[in-house]
Amino acid sequence: MILNPLAPQPSPDTTAWRVYHDRHRALWIDHFDGRWLVQTEGERLPSDFVEAASRLCSSLYWRPRDKAAATAPIHLAGEIIAGRFSVQETGVSCWMDFAAGYSCGLFTDQRLNRIWVSEQCRPGNRILNTFAYTGAFSLVAARAGAETTTVDLSSVYLDWTWENFALNGLDRTGHHGARGDVFTWLRTFARQGRTFHGIVLDPPTFSRSGRDTFRTDRNYASLVSLAAAVLAPGGWLLCCANTHRLTADRFAHDVADGIRAAGRRIIRQEAPPMPPEFCGDDYLKTLRLHVE
């Protein structure tokens, strides 16, 4: 049976999670409230896959990873999904759209980091969510009573963030959107003397920033140093790097360099593994820091 083992639902109020993860077979499946999104490397699915998988979900879609940026997933079996639908992760709702391209609304690999962020937030805290995509980190911070600032290049994703706020019945008072480049915004916040009690850094592997380019495996320290300059004393930083090209040691080294360059000091840090349903894969590096 090619679909064995399937990851169990992580909690009763979670309807979106990685149900199958096999880096060696290059086959990944996310479960979105009964619908499955399958990703593969290359353009072939195992021969008996569709028949086996379609018995386990209401709707089966497929996206070869190399085409992921440009194309929506292809319908393979079951119900055709027309338009958006919502999913839940630890009780927080999020709109999904299989036709949206790039990704569909929620990165399931950040589930445990979102739980951690919600645990760090206190009512009245100011939280900065950079490279925010559809604002999932802002949602958990807002639900915990924090004020949020959500930064993304894309107005489509900022609008999606506010639609997710509405879906969760969250009032937008005290929540701000900043469209544009994260690096530019971090410099602006520093000039304005604005500080944050917690900052989420989850950049893409590669990004253009004005005339500069940012690569997670080369320029992470400079991003951390800009963020540390606007972090309140005793605040926390969630640093993520989504790449196999960076070892965990090298990532920790880059983050420490960035903190030092800002004249700050790490009080404590942890480097948790990815959620268990990712079967020991380690492409997503995480460092959770508290900074003096």
Residues 6+ apart with CB under 8 A from 113: 137, 238, 240, 286, 288
> Is 36 or 157 the residue whose CB approaches ligand SAM more closely?
157
Contacting range for ligand SAM; rule: CB under 6 A; set: 199-207, 218-226, 268-276, 282-290: 199-207
Regarding 150 and contact with ligand SAM (CB under 6 A), the answer is no
In angstroms, give the least distance from the CB of 110 to ligand SAM: 4
* 204 vs 182: CA distance, rounded Å: 12
Angle at 51 between CA 46 and CA 55, to 5 degrees: 130
- Contact between 137 and 117 (Cβ < 8 Å): yes
> Is 125 or 207 the residue whose CB approaches ligand SAM more closely?
207
* 282 vs 5: CA distance, rounded Å: 19
- Site for ligand SAM (CB under 6 A): which residue of 61, 95, 157, 251? 157
Regarding 133 and contact with ligand SAM (CB under 6 A), the answer is yes
Regarding 273 and contact with ligand SAM (CB under 6 A), the answer is no
Regarding 174 and contact with ligand SAM (CB under 6 A), the answer is no
Classify residue 210 by burial, with Cβ atoms within 10 Å: 0-12, 13-18, 19+.
exposed
* 23 vs 277: CA distance, rounded Å: 12
Residue type, 133: Y
- Site for ligand SAM (CB under 6 A): which residue of 57, 87, 127, 136? 136
Q: At what angle do helices 182-192 and 216-228 cross, to 10 degrees?
A: 20
Contacting range for ligand SAM; rule: CB under 6 A; set: 15-23, 132-140, 255-263, 266-274: 132-140
Regarding 181 and contact with ligand SAM (CB under 6 A), the answer is yes
| Contacting ligand SAM within 7-66 (CB under 6 A) | none
Regarding 131 and contact with ligand SAM (CB under 6 A), the answer is yes
Number of residues that bind ligand SAM (CB under 6 A): 19
Tally of CB atoms within 10 A around 12: 9
Regarding 168 and contact with ligand SAM (CB under 6 A), the answer is no
| Contacting ligand SAM within 203-232 (CB under 6 A) | 204, 207, 209
- Site for ligand SAM (CB under 6 A): which residue of 147, 152, 254, 277? 152
Instruction: Find the DSSP H helices in 49-178.
Output: 49-54, 111-120, 136-143, 155-167
| CA distances from residue 106 to 79, 97, 263 in whole angstroms, order as listed | 21, 10, 35
> Is 49 or 131 the residue whose CB approaches ligand SAM more closely?
131
| Contacting ligand SAM within 59-118 (CB under 6 A) | 107, 110
Question: Please, which residues bridge with residue 40 across strands?
Answer: 27, 64
Binding site for ligand SAM (CB under 6 A): 107, 110, 131-134, 136-137, 151-154, 157, 181-182, 202, 204, 207, 209
